[in-house]
A and B are shown apart, each in its own frame.
Chain A
């Protein structure tokens, strides 16, 4: 079976750093994706991890520990436009299983 857990909601302040966690228990694993989804819009790709460790991409970084079934997305220098839902997705056999997403609200 597939089980992906993320916190439902988080709030942070503009300019701060926030970490969004994702834990997974899946029958197979080929990699983990993070997507951003603004309300009423389509998800857009943020990052991808296949090996353990940290992947950095500008203000966004993503970490993976396969042995722990754990990933996090780190957002630095938060901006108001970062208010969105962040979806963790586990890839296996060419398909992705998504978590329910974490709704991040950035406050001034």
Chain B
């Protein structure tokens, strides 16, 4: 089945230690999104790629970066995680930007020690 896969499901890192979360998709969708979701809150868009075109949200901290080396893969890098970065990180894809529904991965729950 075509899907969006996030690895790992659970990630623990130390305060200030860089961490990378990964996302892959077999849907061949053009758009990939990264969201941060904290408990009982809305998913907050961090950035998205339309093909190779990177789009950063204005309020996304500089601590967060992303890479999309090819259509199938997208990475979220957190350079120096702080306690406030503990959250669920969701990757999503959509076919294009014309109001197609988003397909989400199962998420990576990040804990900071």
A interacts with B: yes
Residues of A within 8 A of B (CB): 4, 8, 30-31, 33, 40-45, 48, 50, 87, 91, 93-101, 103
Contacts of A30 in B (CB 8 A): 99
Q: Which chain A positions have C-beta within 8 A of B44?
A: 98
Interface residues of B (CB under 8 A from A): 31, 33, 40-45, 48, 50, 90, 96-99, 101-107, 109
**B90 and A33 within 8 A (CB):** no
The answer to whether B107 touches A91, judged by C-beta atoms less than 8 angstroms apart, is no
For A93, the chain B residues whose CB sits under 8 A away are 97
Whose C-beta in chain B lies nearest to the C-beta of A96?
B102
Partner of A48, one of B45, B48, B99, B107: B99
* Interface pair A101/B42, CB less than 8 Å apart: yes
- Beyond the given pairs A42-B104, A98-B42, A100-B42, 16 more chain A to chain B contacts, judged by CB atoms under 8 angstroms and listed by A's residue number, are A30-B99, A33-B101, A33-B102, A42-B90, A43-B102, A45-B103, A48-B101, A87-B42, A87-B43, A94-B97, A94-B98, A96-B45, A96-B102, A98-B44, A99-B42, A100-B40
Residue of A nearest to B99 (CB): A31
> B42, A45: Cβ atoms under 8 Å?
no
Give the shortest distance, in Å, between A88 (CB) and chain B (any CB).
Answer: 9
Given contacts A94-B31, A95-B45, contact A42 B105 (CB under 8 A): yes
